[in-house]
Amino acid sequence: MKKKIMIISAVALMSYCTSQAQELGVFYSIHFSKTVKSPKGMTAVVGNGFNVGLSYGHYLSKNFSLHVEPNYSWYYTQGRMAKFKGETRAVDRDNDAFILRYQGDQMKEKVTLKQFTIPLMLQYETTGESLRFFVKSGVSYGLHIEDAVATTRMGKLRTSGYYSEYNIELTGPAFVGFGNFNGRTQENQLDFKNRWAYVAEIGVKQRMSDNSSLYVGMYFDIGLNNLVREVDNNNTTAHSALVDYNRDLEDPLILNSVLQNNVE
């Protein structure tokens, strides 16, 4: 599965000049995020989040400067799947092999991420006494502070077990994992790769005093790499289905995140 994220933010930054060539600041932004490359069958839905961080700028000339803006970022993305179906091989509590069949609809998945992000950007600003326009562009590297959390909810889910040895398909009882399980929800932790992104910002810079300025702008963050780690299809522990079965659990049905699925 592939997952790339695009983020658009509204940014406010208050900066203070420590010398003619240096600038320090703090900033806060709220943003909207969307999966650029959704997993197969999923429709991306806009999520949101925020950033808070510090900014350091070093002026190369009157109009050009380099900026580093380390920040903490929290956000989520969402996806929906109208219908789904599949099957997977399993073994029940009596050690009999069977095929778990499942189908349903109204599946929703929300993925929450927490990152420490380090953007490096080149800024150009116009000349002016009090009001200036600026544009920044560069790259950003995001380190995951903890594993992402995927909350998967299946509005309708129906399962059955097909035993080829007896040529019979069971649709119950529910305690062994067969039947209707509507509104079922499960959380899974996801081990994502660290994130590379192209970043840009455009806006205005208002001088508040001789030593301070207020930046207000729009920030664009476009993910460059796939966050989902490649799954080895020869690995028997890899998830190949949205619904799995574990006979050792009191409730044997397991809902996998779409991003854990090894089917493109």
pLDDT of residue 93 exceeding 80, the answer is yes
Which residue has tokens 């599965």?
1
Q: What is the pLDDT of residue 231?
A: 58
Count of H-run helices and E-run strands, the chain: 0, 16
Task: Please state, in angstroms and rounded to a whole number, the distance separating the CA atoms of residues 219 and 126.
Answer: 18
Amino acid identity of residue 30, one-letter, is: I
What is the SS3 assignment for 181?
Answer: coil
Task: Please state, in angstroms and rounded to a whole number, the distance separating the CA atoms of residues 178 and 45.
Answer: 31
Which residues span the domain enclosing 104?
Answer: 5-260
Distant-in-sequence, close-in-space partners of 233: CB < 8 Å, separation ≥ 6: 262
Number of domains present in the structure of the chain = 1
Q: What is the pLDDT of residue 264?
A: 42
User: Per-residue pLDDT averaged across 77-83, rounded?
Assistant: 88
Residue 264 token pair: 């493109």
Amino acid identity of residue 245, one-letter, is: Y
Residue 206 token pair: 């208002």
| Length of the chain (residues) | 264
> Alpha carbon of 215 to those of 64, 125, 133: distances in Å?
15, 11, 9
pLDDT for 6-55, tens place per residue? 777 787 888 877 767 899 999 999 888 877 655 667 777 778 899 999 99
Helix (H), strand (E) at residue 133 = strand 131-144
Task: Please state, in angstroms and rounded to a whole number, the distance separating the CA atoms of residues 80 and 155.
Answer: 11
What is the SS3 assignment for 259?
Answer: helix
Q: Within a 10 A sphere around the Cβ of 29, how many other Cβ atoms? A: 22
pTM: 0.80
Split at pLDDT 50, 70, 90, the class of 263 is: very low
Split at pLDDT 50, 70, 90, the class of 70 is: very high
Task: Please state, in angstroms and rounded to a whole number, the distance separating the CA atoms of residues 229 and 175.
Answer: 34
pLDDT for 110-163, tens place per residue? 999 999 999 999 999 999 888 999 999 999 999 999 999 999 999 999 999 999
CB-based burial of residue 95 (10 Å sphere; 0-12 exposed, 13-18 middle, 19+ buried)?
A: exposed
| Helices marked H in the chain | none
**Chain mean pLDDT for the chain:** 87
Amino acid identity of residue 1, one-letter, is: M
pLDDT of residue 237 exceeding 50, the answer is no
Q: Tell me what percent of the residues of the chain surpass a pLDDT of 90.
A: 62
> Alpha carbon of 165 to those of 94, 98, 162, 168, 169: distances in Å?
14, 8, 9, 8, 11
CB-based burial of residue 20 (10 Å sphere; 0-12 exposed, 13-18 middle, 19+ buried)?
A: exposed
Q: What is the pLDDT of residue 171?
A: 94
Distant-in-sequence, close-in-space partners of 164: CB < 8 Å, separation ≥ 6: 97, 98, 99
pLDDT of residue 261 exceeding 70, the answer is no
